[in-house]
Amino acid sequence: MNAPAPSSAAVPASAASSRFASHFPVHKPRLVMVGNGMAGCRTLEELLKIAPDHYDITVFGAEPHPNYNRILLSPVLAGEMTLDEIVLNDLAWYADNGIALHVNKKVVQIDRARRLVIAEDGTTVPYDRLLLATGSTPFILPVPGNALDGVIAYRDIADTDAMINAARTHRHAVVIGGGLLGLEAANGLKLRGMDVTVVHIGPWLLERQLDEVAGRMLQQSLEARGLTFLLQAQTEALVADAAGTRVRAVRFKDGLEIPADLVVMAVGIRPNTALAESAGIHCNRGIVVSDTLQTFDPRIYAVGECVSHRGIAYGLVAPLFEQAKVCANHLAHHGIGRYQGSVTSTKLKVTGIDLFSAGDFMGGEGTEEIVLHDPAGGVYKKLVLKDNKLVGGVMYGDTADGPWYFQLLKDGRDVHEQRDRLIFGQSLAGDVGHQGQNSAAAMADDAEVCGCNGITKGTIVKAIKEQGLFTLDEVRKCTKASGSCGSCTGLVEQIIASTIGGAYTPAASDKKPMCQCTDHGHEAVRRAIREQHLTSGAAVRHFLEWKTPDGCEKCRPALNYYLISTWPHEAKDDPQSRFINERAHANIQKDGTYSVVPRMWGGLTTPAELRAIADAAEKYAVPTLKVTGGQRIDLLGVKKDDLPKMWADFAAAGMVSGHAYGKSIRTVKTCVGSEHCRFGTQKSMDMGIKLERMLFGMWSPHKVKLAVSGCPRNCAEAGIKDVGVIGVDSGYELYVAGNGGIKTEVAEFLVKVKSDEEVKEYAGAFLQLYREEGFYLERTVHYVQRVGLDYVKRRVVEDGEGRRQLHARLIDALKDVPDPWLERVQGAERHEFATIEV
C-alpha cells in the first residue's frame, strides 16, 4: 500500500536517496512515531546517529509544538524562560532529517492488520515499524467540582499558559500535590504574584525522593519564600462560585475550607495506554515491553513514561533515555543491546535548592546510617550502609558528591575502609586510586553526570576533545549536559577544567549573570542604573534587554535594592520584589507562625517598652518570648493574621521594627561601658544608640550588624561584626567585615579615631561604600575580600574628602525617606498596613 500524500500540516519528508534511484525506485521501510516528546525524539536522535537513511519517518504530536523540554516548564511558568528557549528540536531539525511532522494531531486508532495509523482528523499513514511514545496523563482527583473552570493539571505548555493567564487576573492558588511538579508549580505561581497554598496528603514533601528530615528542611525553606503548606490534608470537594462555573474554594474532609481561584492538580501521572489498549496491545500499568522495547506485536515498539518494563514504569528522564538508546539499536536492525531496567538516582533542583537521593535512602532493618546535619547551614546528608556497602543516600543543600555516591552504590563497592570519612565526600574520603584529584577527575568515564539527559563523563570528555570545546555554553549546546535542571553545572565545569587544564578559565564571579533572565552581571547592572539614571525595575529590564519581562525571584529583589540605594529619592520601593519576611515585617517560622522583634536602641529598653511587649504577648497569646543575641526580645509564634494589629499596637507605644527580617541594619550590640563598668573607657551604650539611630531605615546588600564595646575586653563581641567599635583610652578602634555566622570571620582593623562624631563618619562612610558597590546578598566580609581591604582604606581612611562625601550620601539617603515599616504603621498609611495581606 502506498503512503498518502502528506497533509498541509506536515513538514514533508525528503525523497529516498540511492545511487540507483533514477533506474530502480527504492522504498525505505516506514517508521511512524506516535508522540513527539522527549523519550520518543531521543530515540529518533539515536537512530539517526547509527542508521540515518534506514527509514522514512513520520511523527504525530498531539500538541501544536515541536519537541520541547518538559523539565523546563517550571522556569517558563516562573517567567525565567520562554517557550522558544526550551525547544529541543525545532521545525528545521525535522525537515533537515527528512521527518514528516504532524503537529496538533491526535492519533485515535492503530489498525494492526493493515498497519495503519489514523489521526483524529482522518490523516492516515502506513507503517512498517511503529514506535509508541505516548507518555503519560496527569491524574485528576475524583472529587466533586474537578471539572470546574480554574481546575487544571500541570503537564504541558497549554497548562503552563493557563496558569500564567490565571495569575494575571486571580489571587488565590491551591496546588494539590507536594511532589516535584507541584512544588515547581507553586513556586512559579508565587513569582507571578499569587498567594499559594500547597496541599499534600503525605507527612512531608517529596516523600518518594526525600526522608523526613530533608523534607522538613525543604518545607522550611519554601515557607521562607512565602508558600503555605497543608500536610496530611485530604481534599473532599472543590467548591464552585455563585455562578456555578468556576472554582472558588477547596474543602477538606476535616471541614476546613480555603479560597481558591485556581486549583492545580499535581498528584501523579498514569501511563497513557488508551491507544495501545484499543489496538489490542498487551498493557499492565503501562504498555508492556520486552528488553528490546518491543510490545506484544514485534512490529510495534514503545519507550518513555507509557511503558511498563519488568513491571516498572519510569518517570525520570535518565531511564527513558536509556530505553531510547536500546530501542534505536533494534530499530536499526543492529540486533544488540538489552534494556534491563535502571538503577535510578534523583538529582533535583527545587526552586534553586539542590536535592539528591538514590537507592534505599530510608534504611531499615539490617542497615546502618551515617548522618551529617547542619540546619543553620542548610546542609543534610544521610548515607545508608548494609554489609559494608552503600545501598542508599539522601542529600539536601550540598549534592556535589551525589554522582560519586551513586557510582559506589551501582558498583556495590566495599566502603569499610572509608567509613569514617565517607560522609565528607570523595575528596576527604580518600577514594582508592584517586587521592589528590578533584571529584570530576576521579570519576569513571561511564559515571553519569547529567541525570536529566543521561550524559556520562566519557561523553562530555569525548565532545571536548573531538570538537575543541572550551566553555560551559559550548559543552551544554553540544552534549546537553547541564542544559535542563542545571544541578550538575558545577560538575560539568570541573570536567572541562580537568580535561583541558590551563586552557579553561572560568568566568569571574562578578562577571557571571545575575540570573537566567539576563547575561549581565551585578556590576554591569549597577553601572547601567547609575549611568543611565534608571529609576524602575521595568526601565532596567527594558534597557538591558532582559530575557523575561517581569524578572524572577533572583533578580527582582536585587534590582529593587540597587534602585532604592542608587536613587533613594526617586526610585520607589517595590514590596512585591521583597521576600515574604520583609513584606510581613516578621520572620516566618517552621510551623508557619511568625517571629516579631521590636527595636531596642543599642540594646537598651524602658519599663514602658517592656510593658508594651508584655501586653502584646498576652493580647495575642504569644507562646514564647526570648532574649536574642542582639539584645532584644523576640516574640515567637505570632499568627499571620495578628501581625498588622500587633505592629499597630507597638507603633502606638512608640516602638518600631527591629528589622530582624531585613537586608538592612539589624542591631547595634553594646556593653554597659564607662556608664557603669569599672573597666570601661568609653560610653559604649550612648555610642551604640547614636549609631543605630543614624542608620535606622538603611537597606543594604545583606544584613548588617554592629557592636560597641567600652573597652578592649570586648564584651559586646565587636570583633565579629560588620562594623565593630572598641573603646580605648584615647578614643575608639574601628573594625570591619566580621561575621559570626556559620563560618566565623574575624573583623579587620580599619582605623583609630578620637571622637563619637568620627566613629559615625568613618562607620557611615564604610557602610555607604558597601551599599554602593556590594552585590545583592553579598555580606561585608565577602565584599571586602572581593575588593581588598587596602581599597577600602584608600576610600574611607586616606581620602578625607571622599569619606565625607560617602557619609553625606548615606545621611541624605536616609533623610526624609520613610522606612517601609514606618510607611505602613504611621500616619496616613496606618490603615493600609492594617489591611495588608502578609
Q: Which residues are annotated as a binding site for [4Fe-4S] cluster?
A: 671, 677, 711, 715
What one-character-per-residue DSSP string does 702-760 give? S-EEEEEESSTT-TT-GGGSSEEEEEETTEEEEEE--B-SSS-BPPEEEEEESSHHHHH
DSSP 280: T
Nearest to 75 by CA among 263, 348, 351: 351
DSSP per-residue string spanning 692-708: HHHHTT-B-SS-EEEEE
Q: Which residue has the cell 513527539?
A: 36
Question: Which cell numbers hold the place of 206?
Answer: 517529596
448, β-bridge pairs:
456
- The one-letter code for the residue type at 246 is R
For residue 193 the three cell numbers come to 504574584
Annotated binding-site residue numbers for siroheme: 715
Given a contact cutoff of 8 angstroms between Cβ atoms, the answer to whether 520 and 514 are in contact is yes
Dig out the grid coordinates for 178 from the structure: 507536594
Q: Which amino acid is at 339?
A: Y
The counts of H helices and E strands in the chain are 29, 39
Contact 736, 780 (CB under 8 A): yes
Q: Which residues are annotated as a binding site?
A: 671, 677, 711, 715
Task: Give the angle 50-51-52 at the CA atoms, nearest 5°.
Answer: 110
Do 304 and 313 touch, CB atoms closer than 8 A? no
**Which DSSP string do the residues of 99-154 spell out, in sequence order?**
EEEETT--EEEEETTTTEEEETTS-EEE-SEEEE---EEE-----TTTTSBTEEE-
How far apart (Å, rounded) are the C-alpha atoms in residues 229 and 746? 39
Q: How many CB atoms lie within 10 A of CB 387?
A: 11
DSSP, collapsed to helix, strand or coil, labels residue 15 as: coil
Q: Which residues contact 244 (CB under 8 A, 6 or more apart)?
A: none
Q: How far apart are CA 199 and CA 175, in angstroms?
A: 6
Give the residue ranges of DSSP H helices in 553-642: 555-566, 580-584, 607-619
Which residue in the block uniquely carries the three cell numbers 574628602?
801
Which amino acid, one-letter code, is at 774?
G
Rounded CA-CA distance 564/156 in Å is 39
Q: What angle do CA 217, 221, 225 make, to 5 degrees?
A: 160
In one letter, which amino acid is 254?
A: D
